[in-house]
């Protein structure tokens, strides 16, 4: 092999090496999607004091109308706790959760209803979370309507009078199985 052929071979090997680096190096340059946690649902995910809120959504017929809060609320503390959710226009609801357990805000619990959803469907409504011993925090929660069939049953009915405070009871204790089930069923 002469000098010219060796030079061409080295250049070809270098080109292949650069090509492989550019193809496989994208993981080095770009962040991996699996390293970022996000709510893979319509609802939000929020940690607040001893509470872990998962797949939280407000279901309402429209702006200024009552809205039902659905999702899952976990209590990671060693004592029973109550989460208060304050919405627009002074509306509020409370969710009681036993120590180390969760409450699903769905058909099997008392409705956690706000007298005013705080936004039109498709928007993010500001709500304030509060609990004894924890500083209040404002978050934004998606407002959905009955367009999607899975939310239609959660729309507050005109005959139902929203209360300023409703209490839901907790069920079970969180395990990896019940956590996945609770999160999957809370908003759908």
In sequence order, what are the residues at sequence separation of 6 or more whose Cβ sits closer than 8 angstroms to the Cβ of residue 188?
41, 150
Q: Which of 51, 46, 60, 81 is nearest to 151 (CA)?
A: 60
Q: Rounded distance, CA 121 to CA 126, Å?
A: 13
- Indicate the DSSP class of residue 181: H
User: How high is the pLDDT of residue 83?
Assistant: 95
Q: Rounded distance, CA 181 to CA 133, Å?
A: 30
| Proportion of the chain above pLDDT 90, given as a percent | 51
pLDDT in tens, 119-172: 999 999 999 999 998 999 999 999 999 898 989 999 987 654 444 444 444 444
The alpha carbon of 126 is separated from its chain's Cα centroid by a whole number of angstroms, namely 14
Could you tell me which residues are beta bridge partners of residue 171? 102
pLDDT in tens, 70-85: 999 999 999 999 999 9
Beta-strand ranges (E) seen in 81-157 are 81-86, 92-97, 102-105, 112-114, 124-131, 134-144
Largest separation between any pair of C-alpha atoms in the chain: 93
Instruction: Indicate the pLDDT class of residue 111, thresholds 50, 70 and 90.
Output: confident
Q: Rounded distance, CA 138 to CA 85, Å?
A: 10
| Phi (first) and psi of residue 160, to 5 degrees | -80, 130
DSSP string, 11-57: HHHHHHHHHHHHHHTHHHHSPPGGGS----SSSEEEEETTEEEEEEE
Q: For the chain, what is the total number of helices (H) and then of strands (E)?
A: 4, 9
| Phi (first) and psi of residue 124, to 5 degrees | -110, 120
Q: What is the pTM of this model?
A: 0.67
């Amino acid at each position: 092999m002469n000098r010219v052929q060796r030079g061409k071979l080295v250049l070809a090997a270098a080109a292949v090496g650069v090509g492989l680096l550019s193809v496989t190096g994208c993981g080095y340059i770009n962040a991996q999607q699996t390293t970022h946690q996000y709510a893979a649902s319509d609802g939000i995910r929020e940690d607040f004091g001893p509470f872990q809120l998962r797949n939280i959504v407000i279901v309402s017929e429209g702006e200024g109308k009552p809205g039902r809060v659905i999702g899952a609320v976990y209590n990671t503390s060693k004592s029973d706790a109550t989460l208060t959710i304050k919405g627009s226009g002074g509306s509020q609801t409370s969710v009681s959760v036993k120590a180390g357990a969760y409450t699903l805000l769905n058909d099997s619990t008392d409705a956690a209803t706000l007298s005013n959803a705080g936004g039109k469907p498709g928007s993010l409504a500001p709500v304030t979370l509060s609990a004894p011993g924890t500083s209040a925090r404002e978050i934004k929660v998606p407002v959905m309507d009955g367009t999607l069939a899975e939310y239609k049953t959660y729309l507050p009915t005109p005959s139902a009078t929203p209360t300023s405070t409703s209490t839901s009871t907790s069920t079970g204790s969180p395990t990896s199985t019940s956590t996945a089930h609770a999160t999957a069923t809370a908003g759908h």
